[in-house]
A and B are shown apart, each in its own frame.
Chain A
């Protein structure tokens, strides 16, 4: 098995614990086997520079080209040239997170509408499956 996502300087990570849960951040330095230094950049993602445990982040496919301990300004520039936010939003991971969030915010009537839509969808699929003789 080959790992494709490494803990490295410039790796974009998703925070999955604490008040900043769900926000993106960038690894800017490695502290030790358990921790790394991350920075949002705060200007773009709201995550300030901090040391965080690896168990509280999830590595994404994205990286930016930066030096170790990059300044906030260069980090922002790197994010913008790499178009990181747009790439993340387009990923299926981000879309799933977004839809989960939307589902949670639905009202009772909206949930009812979703239930009906789901039924209609499976009705179409089942009809097609029968047509195909599967």
Chain B
């Protein structure tokens, strides 16, 4: 006895068998082992290049949430790409810092509701003054208050974070330990 029944009729036209399609599950981006919350990172690209900052957490998108802290070196709460940082072996205690409210959505740009009029179009991109909203300022303060405390408890850490990273003569980055 056959297990599968043979079809009762054959279709007039050839039907291609459905392709075995399956969705690849997207894994969350892997963060380098050397980057953990509290690690001091050296930024290598962007307008804050050369700054030493503190890693706060890895976001869902694979970007890393960092803070200068702002008061020490002017780097605000910010997302950075892990490819453009050097992870050092130095750590700052961030267990007291609450970063649960920061997600990728928090940093999303607000859509500009005002449509560009003809006048503005011909004016070109006149630089608009950057306005940091008060919510951001408050969040920055809340995070940095906790962070500054642990930075102050480690000797020389504040001066270290304030100093820029540079290479000088005879510095070979590929042989240096960070």
Residue numbers in A under 8 Å from B176 (CB-CB): 108
Within 8 A of A (CB), among B159-177: 159-160, 163, 165, 175-177
How many of chain B's residues touch chain A, expressed as a range?
Answer: 10 to 19
User: Does A104 make an interface contact (CB < 8 A)?
Assistant: yes
Q: Are A107 and B178 within 8 A (Cβ)? A: yes
Min Cβ gap B88→A in Å is: 5
Q: Are B163 and A106 within 8 A (Cβ)? A: no
Residue numbers in B under 8 Å from A105 (CB-CB): 177
Residue numbers in A under 8 Å from B163 (CB-CB): 112
Pairs across A and B, CB under 8 Å, 9 listed: A107-B90, A108-B86, A108-B88, A108-B90, A108-B165, A109-B40, A109-B160, A113-B156, A116-B159
Q: Of B89, B159, B160, B177, which one neighbours A104 at CB under 8 angstroms?
A: B177
Q: Are A112 and B177 within 8 A (Cβ)? A: no
C-alpha spacing A109/B159, complex, angstroms: 10
Give chain A's interface secondary structure class: helix
Residue numbers in B under 8 Å from A108 (CB-CB): 40, 42, 52, 86, 88-90, 165, 176-178
Residue numbers in A under 8 Å from B90 (CB-CB): 107-109
Q: Are B177 and A106 within 8 A (Cβ)? A: yes
Q: Are B88 and A107 within 8 A (Cβ)? A: yes
Question: How does the 8 Å CB contact mask read for A106-124 relative to B, with 1 for contact and 0 for none?
Answer: 1111001100100000000
The residues of B with any CB-CB pair to A shorter than 8 Å are: 40, 42, 52, 86, 88-90, 156, 159-160, 163, 165, 175-178
Give chain B's interface secondary structure class: mixed
Residue numbers in A under 8 Å from B159 (CB-CB): 112, 116
A106-B177, A107-B177, A107-B178 given. 17 additional CB < 8 A pairs? A104-B175, A104-B177, A105-B177, A107-B88, A107-B89, A108-B40, A108-B42, A108-B88, A108-B89, A108-B176, A108-B178, A109-B160, A112-B159, A113-B156, A113-B160, A116-B156, A116-B159
How many of chain A's residues touch chain B, expressed as a range?
Answer: under 10
Residue numbers in B under 8 Å from A107 (CB-CB): 88-90, 177-178
Min Cβ gap B48→A in Å is: 17
Within 8 A of B (CB), among A12-53: none
C-alpha spacing A107/B156, complex, angstroms: 14
Which 5 A-B pairs have CB atoms at the shortest separation, nearest pair first?
Answer: A109-B90, A108-B88, A107-B89, A108-B178, A112-B160
Residue numbers in B under 8 Å from A106 (CB-CB): 177
Q: Are A109 and B175 within 8 A (Cβ)? A: no
Min Cβ gap B22→A in Å is: 46
Q: Are A112 and B88 within 8 A (Cβ)? A: no
From A104, A108, A112, A116, name the one whose CB has the most chain B CB atoms within 10 angstroms. Answer: A108
